[in-house]
Structure 1
Amino acid sequence: MAEDQELTQPHKAPLEPSLQQRSSNTYRSAEHSQALLSGLVSLRDSSILFDVVLVVEEKPIEAHRILLAASCDYFRGMFAGGLREMEQDEVRIHGISYNAMCKILNFIYTSELELSVNNVQETLAAACQLQIPEVIKFCCDFLMSWVDEENILDVYRLADHYDLRHLSDQLDSYILKNFVAFSKTQMYRQLPFQKVYSLLSSNRLEVNYENEVYEGALLYHYSPEQLETDQISLMEPPKLLETVRFPLMEPQILQRLHDKLSPCPLKEKVADALMYHKNECLQPMLQSSQTQLRSEFQCVVGFGGMHSTPSIVLSDQAKYLNPLLGEWRHFTAPLAPRMSNQGIAVLNNFVYLIGGDNNVRGFRAESRCWRYLKRRLKSLNVIAYHMFKNIIAILHNGCRDRRG
């Protein structure tokens, strides 16, 4: 009998190592979370398994305690943090409107939130009190989609009241992007002074020319009509003019401003900016916060070189890779002479090109240099081309010795 029993038991052969490695796996359902929410909505719609009543503005709202506790820190602390509400069947919620609470609960059950101009503010207040980051973000996104120069101050106040740093940064970005038009409005002059000072100091301020920053600084104190008719006093310049980077202004505009100013601190600052333009050889050593371009972009720049077909054809072009468009763009002015294999160095955002191969009668060093002195480029960190005279002399002497 013992032998018969032994024969009837199935034989357990050891798994091969490769099969042992595949003996377990973890599967994850992409539909489970949505199915779970749908099931909870069905329970709510059928009034099944409700175990708590929220009383908001004296109106009852039935809900599932476990779902509320899982949804946000506010209810988690209330129902799972040892507070007396754990034992209460009815809980009063203060500081939140009934309509906003209904919106929040609907989001908790469905992950959907319907917002309008009429309910966004009370929904935002409720989301901040209940500590629901997703709803806060949706409210901020909705507000930004409606923001304009007429209501931007109200939205700033909301951001400040609820300490919404992200929303405040988005409003700053709106002004930085639309500064020239916004600076001519009444709302601009109602912004807090420190806010305007910070915006005018930003490298993200989008202007075509630095003189637009100069005008914007004055428009905080004067109307466009006063500025146009020159009804302003600059003997004691407004503090906002500290944010203007005068060396970035065009020399002609600086000269006109200098000529009409009476002796004052501002005239001295304008004179220094003019000297910056007149001393191009010294510009790399005169760099400061006043000469920094209003840009946070970096890009790749290419100078000259050989065309692939035929290889003997040289290029005098300079191109930069536009970081926004992701494509190569030409500089607006041509460079000369044509050459390849130049020596290139970057110092203080100035590019220096030395010599190169002119590909004439074999490989020969080129004694000339790229004499395109300076080209300011919006949205680029590489901002100028210049060659010092002593570098030119050294290069020229080196090439002369090589030819000799």
Structure 2
Amino acid sequence: MDDESPDELLFKDHNFSSDLLRQLNGLRQHRILTDVSICAGAWEVPCHRNVLASSSPYFRAMFCSNFRESSEAKVQLKGIDSPVLDWIVAYVYTGEVRIAADNVLALMEAASLLQYPRLFEACSSYLQSQLAPSNCLGMIRLSEILSCQTLKEKAREVALACFPEVATSTDLKELCALELRDYLGDDGLCGEEEKVFEALMAWVKHDLQARKRYMQELFQQVRLQYVHPAFFHHFIANDALLQSSPACQTILERARRQMFSLYGSSAPDCKPLWHVPPRSSYQDFLILLGGRKDNQQTTREVLLYSSQTGQWQSLAKLPIRLYKASAVTLHRSIYLLGGMTVSGGKSLVSHNVYVFSLKLNQWRLGEPMLVARYSHRSIAHKNFIFSIGGLGEGQELLSSMERYDSICNVWESMATMPVGVLHPAVAAKDQRLYLFGGEDIMQNPVRLIQVYHISRNTWFKMETRMIKNVCAPAVVLGQRIVIVGGYTRRILAYDPQTNKFAKCADMKDRKMHHGATVMGNKLYVTGGRRLTTDCNIEDSASFDCYDPESDTWTSQGQLPHKLFDHACLTLQCIPHMTTHS
């Protein structure tokens, strides 16, 4: 508040300064009281020294110091042409200037030279509004010439966010090696590693003789751990240019062993790849597919949940209704395996495999399994999918297991499990598959842990009184396998190294037929059926999160509808790939 005494009034004329500026501009235009002419070559613009000196530090230094120009009637401004001079003087006297594509660069240079920071930033804002994948790299160069940090930051944001489009531009091929390395190595680059590799190779081949010496340094910016193994196998591993570099060959061999060896990084002579996290542009999304919706018919719906927005979004529906199919994520795709369908009033057990691309929001038919099965379990490990047990075409209990090789696109039979069970909790950890509990054909709980050694193709079993789960999922959380409910509220964490169980905080309800997955080192549990205190069974739309750090549960709200017997998966992708109508 203004300090006022009771007998006085502080008058503020808010239009006075703008009126004064307008009057001064009128005096300038009629050459009244002007005392200096600013010149661009032969072009002269009469002005008032005091107005110019008040408008910028540049003119203040010129006219208020002992410079020669302080007393001259005409002052030449070098590097500025006559139209720009007119625009600048008009801006000084009116505070207005038209900024457009045909004058923005000249205005920006003049604003920088003559020290008009707000005009400079206005030009920068205009250029930022014109940014596109086709010009962002050029804008970065321009921003460096003009020392405009705000434009540089915004242009780089666009370049990183629109990497697939920028990668095909001529401007990218014109970057120097240092600039390209900085760009491809940026954690915020919003593109798949396959595209990073293609952009690198296109840059090298643009001037092969001069650029091939940078290949090793730039190849190290490709995060090979996150390249699709089929792409690595077909397009990277045997690339002639990479093979011509001994250093690149070494990187390739290490990557090949880590990707394709069933022994993992513990294999002989297999040093793990340098640890680099996935780029920050990738996010984890929760996917729900199929299941029984609101206790009605099996649904074809596929839902995506973003933990950042807290929103649910519908994706392309399943090609057909599938009862008790299984699903896994592998190489950022979803594989839906088997299940039962109804056709012409008949129930048919399927051996079909459907593959979903989130990038395309499309389903396609994959290589079918060897055995038709439903109520089975599937798990992904490295480049493989294992499909285990279930019920066959004659409703027989299956103890068979088959394995899909995603590189060769083939299924093969593997060793059968020791005891055929339905609805066990399944997880993969440290080169082994673990099957906990389940039920026999008479629906009696089986108190077993069945362990499959992947590289040896052998099984063994362990009896334990701790296990009594049925229709429960299992997830890997840190170094432990967590068995989530299964006609119980109990959460058990199993340590494969010590072969010991630890109890975690119980769920709110006794649950079965629910889904569970891990995102960001937290466990998310979706839907299912719950046993009430009076032993009634109710369908659930609950959506809960377990934090192992605090050993606590919190509600994440509700699913869009009640759901059970569904698949619950985590899929890692770039957010803009999920924006489907």
* TM-score, shorter chain, exceeding 0.5: yes
8 Å contact kept, 2:40–2:81:
yes
CA positional deviation for 1:74: 0.4
- Give the equivalent residue in structure 2 for 1:244: 222
Q: Which amino acid aligns with 2:255?
A: K
State the TM-score, normalized to the length of structure 1.
Answer: 0.62
Q: Secondary structure at the match of 1:206?
A: coil
The separation in 2 between residues aligned to 1:371 and 1:75, in whole angstroms, is 70
Larger fraction in helix:
1
Q: Which amino acid aligns with 1:247?
A: Q
8 Å contact kept, 2:137–2:172:
no
- Give the equivalent residue in structure 1 for 2:571: 375
Residue of 82, 85, 89 corresponding to 1:101: 85
Matched, 1:291 2:277: yes
- Give the equivalent residue in structure 2 for 1:41: 25
Matched, 1:64 2:235: no
- Give the equivalent residue in structure 1 for 2:198: 215
- Give the equivalent residue in structure 2 for 1:384: none
Cα distance, 1:277–1:244 mapped onto 2, change above 3 Å: farther
Structure 1 unmatched runs, 5+: 1-18, 227-233, 280-285, 304-308, 310-315, 365-369, 381-404
Q: Secondary structure at the match of 2:45?
A: strand
Q: Which amino acid aligns with 2:74?
A: E
Q: Secondary structure at the match of 1:221?
A: helix
The separation in 1 between residues aligned to 2:313 and 2:164, in whole angstroms, is 26
Matched, 1:177 2:348: no
- Give the equivalent residue in structure 2 for 1:90: 74
Larger fraction in strand:
2
8 Å contact kept, 1:203–1:296:
no
Q: Secondary structure at the match of 2:531?
A: coil
- Give the equivalent residue in structure 1 for 2:347: none
8 Å contact kept, 1:321–1:329:
no
Matched, 1:361 2:532: yes
8 Å contact kept, 2:37–2:74:
yes
Residue of 118, 123, 126 corresponding to 1:139: 123
- Give the equivalent residue in structure 1 for 2:521: 350
Query: Which deviates more from structure 2 when the two are superposed, residues 100-109 or residues 355-364?
Result: 355-364
The separation in 1 between residues aligned to 2:163 and 2:65, in whole angstroms, is 49
8 Å contact kept, 1:258–1:271:
no
CA positional deviation for 1:177: 3.4
CA positional deviation for 1:180: 1.8
CA positional deviation for 1:105: 0.8
- The equivalences for 1:157-168 within 5 A come to 157-168=141-152
The separation in 2 between residues aligned to 1:26 and 1:277, in whole angstroms, is 84
Query: Which deviates more from structure 2 when the two are superposed, residues 235-244 or residues 350-359?
Result: 350-359
8 Å contact kept, 2:177–2:214:
no
Matched, 1:267 2:253: yes
The separation in 1 between residues aligned to 2:6 and 2:64, in whole angstroms, is 40
- The equivalences for 1:216-235 within 5 A come to 216-222=199-205
- The equivalences for 1:254-333 within 5 A come to 254-257=232-235, 260=238, 264-273=250-259, 290-295=276-281, 319-323=305-309, 327-329=311-313
The separation in 1 between residues aligned to 2:30 and 2:72, in whole angstroms, is 22
CA positional deviation for 1:198: 1.5
Cα distance, 1:377–1:288 mapped onto 2, change above 3 Å: farther
Q: Secondary structure at the match of 2:37?
A: strand
Q: Secondary structure at the match of 1:204?
A: coil
**CA deviations over 1:228-273 (Å, ceiling 9, x no partner):** xxxxxx9995422212222222343344457646764223124435
The separation in 2 between residues aligned to 1:34 and 1:181, in whole angstroms, is 47
The separation in 2 between residues aligned to 1:236 and 1:194, in whole angstroms, is 9
The separation in 2 between residues aligned to 1:372 and 1:198, in whole angstroms, is 38
Cα distance, 1:373–1:170 mapped onto 2, change above 3 Å: closer
8 Å contact kept, 1:38–1:110:
yes
> How many aligned residue pairs are there?
333
The separation in 2 between residues aligned to 1:235 and 1:70, in whole angstroms, is 55
Q: Secondary structure at the match of 1:243?
A: coil
Cα distance, 1:328–1:152 mapped onto 2, change above 3 Å: closer
Q: Which amino acid aligns with 1:129?
A: L
Q: Which amino acid aligns with 2:118?
A: E
Q: Which amino acid aligns with 2:279?
A: L
8 Å contact kept, 1:55–1:92:
yes
Cα distance, 1:242–1:27 mapped onto 2, change above 3 Å: farther
CA positional deviation for 1:130: 0.6
